[in-house]
């Protein structure tokens, strides 16, 4: 087929159409730029080329991709090699247009420049090109420099091709008018595809920034939940990748595309967005008696009043014995008062410990709290005798596990309902439609006893089940919670194994979590050294 023949031109037009389709499908901006340059080289038979991008300040051209087949140079793009050339300025120090540089000229004037031989061309400065040739032994000859204009006719880049190679003889020839026309068509298509990709990227960045804004609002309310919102998505993706890599077992057919990964990432970032509605004093409740402040100090004051009253009563009785002068009776009163005060101090310390909360409060300790509440009376500031503990204080101090009452747990649990409602209100695009389901299912259980919808395992997506494990494990190991310290790996995995046995978490995902040591990779990234203890995987419950 002869170069420049109708068949050759038709074939190149077909190639241009195929390139246009490929450009519209490319999601990665860096890959897109590389595809543009390689395609332009192909349809014009160019030996080399450079793609420039207009800088954000619109005052410079930045080197983005550089290729040369003869010199085997591949810089920028997927090569991973940086282009060390400085940006090309639009204006000189006096503010005059830098028209001597052909690429800048094409950008400033939105005009294609077709040069047959750079060494003989007048009006442009090719001194840099000559130095490059002297250094490499190359001969830069024909140049085709095409501005890339978007739908608003704004130049967003420049495509520069070097040395058109005759397909039959291999000789360097000028770029033909057909080459120029094809390159301009490609540049136009490429500019629109690149603009669309950049707009999509900007929208994605804006959306993720908005998610960050929500998490910042939660973080500002409570620094303890802010870290959780950051770590759960990371652990979710770690486990999801391990499941994706499984080649045998129940998840051998589970695979994620890049869109699937992005969808799960967004769900992870938003999984607790409903906590923006949760009262701070509930989220940050560090002790059983804490509301806006820890009311254990009020209990302390009551004990001090009981001690004061006991001492006053002793002194009055001693004074009554002064006339008979009975030292033995006075000493007995003093000893009895000391014993009573010692009992008050012991009970006060016990209530302080009970106020901290923990994994499980013994029934005997709960009974002792009730005994203190019923056994003591005190006079308040009005001089009125009152119950030593109010009914609400008694209910808080006898919480069996943790620091939250049932009513407060329901307030906390409401955050997932708020999360689902908030997310279902958004007009999700097709590739993100499952975000509400993924984010809203991390408190469900495999046996259907979870909340808010009581879903069973078969009613849940793999992604939601993955997030459930990530949410629990992060909470167990978190060291920034006000009501507990972070557990060690061995402790956390023991509890996670119990949750597997009682139908709380997905057993197959739990196995991958252990077998692929997802827990260890997460620990090395987020846990303190003292939390990363030795783990005997064979002895973990549920194994």
Residue 381 confidence (pLDDT) above 90: no
**C-alpha 489: how far from chain center:** 22
CB 178 within 8 A of CB 167: no
- Residues 189 and 251 occupy one common structural domain: no
Q: Which of 199, 214, 247 is the last residue of a domain?
A: 199
CATH number, position 509: 1.10.3210.10
Distance CA 287, CA 368 (A): 18
282 in any annotated domain:
no
What does the pLDDT look like over 233-265, one tens digit per residue? Answer: 999 999 999 999 999 999 999 999 999 999 999
Mean pLDDT of 399-418: 78
Token couple for 493: 């995995």
Distance CA 405, CA 391 (A): 13
Token couple for 337: 């008062």
Q: Helix (H, G, I), strand (E, B), or coil: what is residue 535?
A: coil
Mean pLDDT of 420-448: 92
268 in any annotated domain:
no
φ, ψ of residue 472 in degrees (nearest 5): -70, -45
Distance CA 477, CA 484 (A): 10
- Residues 380 and 239 occupy one common structural domain: no
Return the higher-pLDDT residue of 58 and 480.
Answer: 58
| Residues 6 or more apart in contact with residue 263 via CB below 8 angstroms | 431, 432, 434, 435, 438
**H or E stretch at 304:** helix 296-320
72 in any annotated domain:
yes
- Residues 49 and 193 occupy one common structural domain: yes
Residue 462 confidence (pLDDT) above 90: yes
What does the pLDDT look like over 178-229, one tens digit per residue? Answer: 889 888 888 887 777 777 777 878 888 888 888 888 877 777 776 666 577 8
Q: Which of 358, 388, 403 is the last residue of a domain?
A: 403
CATH number, position 85: 3.30.450.40
211 in any annotated domain:
no
Angle at 446 between CA 442 and CA 452, to 5 degrees: 45
- Residues 35 and 150 occupy one common structural domain: yes
215 in any annotated domain:
no
Mean pLDDT of 486-508: 92
- Residues 55 and 134 occupy one common structural domain: yes
- Residues 162 and 131 occupy one common structural domain: yes
**H or E stretch at 155:** strand 155-165
Mean pLDDT of 403-421: 79
480 in any annotated domain:
yes
The three-state DSSP-derived secondary structure of 313-376 is HHHHHHHHCCCCCCHHHHHHHHHHHHHHHHHHHHHHHHHHHHHHCCCCCCHHHHHHHHHHHHHC
- Residues 251 and 351 occupy one common structural domain: no
Give 1's pLDDT tier (boundaries 50, 70, 90): very low
- Residues 532 and 468 occupy one common structural domain: yes
Give 444's pLDDT tier (boundaries 50, 70, 90): very high
- Residues 470 and 392 occupy one common structural domain: no
**Residues pairing with 300 in the sheet:** none
Q: What is the pLDDT of residue 118?
A: 93
Residue 14 confidence (pLDDT) above 80: no
CB 162 within 8 A of CB 142: yes
Instruction: Give me the residue label for tokens 């923990």.
Output: 358
Please state the domain count of the chain: 3
- Residues 159 and 10 occupy one common structural domain: yes
- Residues 317 and 360 occupy one common structural domain: yes
φ, ψ of residue 158 in degrees (nearest 5): -135, 135
Domain that holds residue 508: 222-257+429-539
For residue 543, how many other CB atoms are within 10 A of its CB? 14
318 in any annotated domain:
yes
Residue 484 confidence (pLDDT) above 70: no
**Residues pairing with 294 in the sheet:** 290
201 vs 16, 43, 79, 428, 434, CA distance in Å?
Answer: 25, 28, 22, 16, 20
Q: Which of 241, 146, 184, 222 minimizes the C-alpha distance to 512? A: 241
137 vs 132, 133, 465, 466, CA distance in Å?
Answer: 8, 5, 61, 58
| Residues 6 or more apart in contact with residue 160 via CB below 8 angstroms | 49, 50, 51, 52, 102, 103, 106, 143, 144, 145, 146
Distance CA 523, CA 119 (A): 62
Distance CA 434, CA 196 (A): 24
- Residues 226 and 306 occupy one common structural domain: no
279 in any annotated domain:
no
């Amino acid at each position: 087929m002869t170069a420049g023949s109708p068949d050759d031109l038709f074939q190149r037009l077909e190639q241009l159409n195929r390139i246009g389709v490929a450009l519209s499908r490319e999601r990665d901006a860096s890959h897109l730029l590389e595809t543009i340059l390689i395609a332009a080289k192909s349809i014009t038979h160019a030996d080399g080329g450079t793609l420039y991008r207009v800088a954000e300040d619109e005052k410079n051209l930045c080197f983005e991709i550089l290729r040369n087949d003869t010199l085997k140079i591949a810089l920028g793009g997927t090569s991973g090699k940086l282009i060390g050339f400085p940006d090309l300025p639009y204006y000189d120090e006096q503010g005059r247009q830098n028209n001597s540089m052909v690429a800048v000229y094409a950008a400033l004037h939105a005009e294609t420049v077709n040069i047959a031989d750079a060494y003989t061309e007048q009006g442009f400065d090719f001194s840099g090109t000559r130095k490059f040739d002297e250094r490499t032994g190359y001969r830069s000859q024909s140049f085709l420099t095409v501005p890339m204009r978007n739908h608003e006719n704004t130049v967003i880049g420049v495509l520069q091709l070097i040395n058109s190679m005759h397909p039959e003889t291999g000789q360097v020839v000028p770029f033909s008018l057909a080459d120029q026309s094809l390159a301009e068509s490609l540049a136009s298509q490429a500019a629109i595809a690149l603009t669309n990709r950049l707009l999509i990227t900007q929208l994605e960045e804006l959306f993720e920034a908005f998610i960050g804004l929500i998490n910042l609002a939660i973080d500002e309310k409570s620094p303890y939940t802010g870290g959780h919102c950051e770590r759960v998505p990371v652990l979710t993706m770690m486990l999801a990748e391990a499941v994706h890599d499984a080649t045998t077992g129940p998840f051998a057919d589970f695979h994620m595309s890049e869109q699937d990964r992005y969808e799960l990432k967004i769900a992870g970032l938003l999984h607790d967005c409903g906590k923006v509605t949760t009262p701070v004093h509930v989220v940050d409740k560090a002790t059983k008696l804490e509301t806006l402040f820890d009311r254990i100090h009020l209990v302390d004051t009551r004990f001090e009043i009981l001690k004061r009253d006991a001492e006053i009563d002793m002194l009055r009785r001693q004074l009554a014995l002064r006339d008979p002068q009975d030292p033995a009776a006075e000493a007995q009163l003093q000893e009895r008062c000391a014993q009573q005060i010692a009992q008050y101090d012991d009970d006060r310390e016990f209530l302080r410990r009970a106020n901290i909360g923990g994994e499980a409060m013994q029934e005997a300790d709960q009974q002792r709290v009730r005994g203190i509440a019923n056994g003591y009376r005190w006079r308040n500031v009005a001089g009125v005798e009152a119950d030593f503990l109010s009914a609400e204080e008694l209910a808080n101090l006898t919480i069996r596990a943790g620091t939250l009452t049932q009513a407060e747990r329901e307030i906390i649990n409401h955050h997932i309902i708020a999360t689902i409602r908030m997310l279902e209100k958004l007009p999700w695009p097709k590739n993100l439609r499952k975000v509400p389901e993924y984010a809203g299912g991390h408190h469900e259980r495999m046996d259907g006893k979870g909340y808010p919808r009581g879903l069973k395992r078969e009613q849940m997506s793999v992604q939601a089940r993955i997030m459930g494990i990530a949410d629990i494990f992060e909470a167990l190991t978190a060291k920034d919670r006000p009501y507990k310290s972070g557990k060690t790996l061995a402790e956390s995995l023991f509890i996670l194994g119990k949750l597997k046995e009682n139908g709380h978490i997905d057993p197959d995902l739990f196995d991958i979590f252990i077998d692929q040591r997802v827990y260890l990779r997460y620990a090395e990234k987020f846990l303190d050294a003292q939390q990363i203890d030795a783990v005997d995987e064979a002895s973990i419950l549920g194994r």
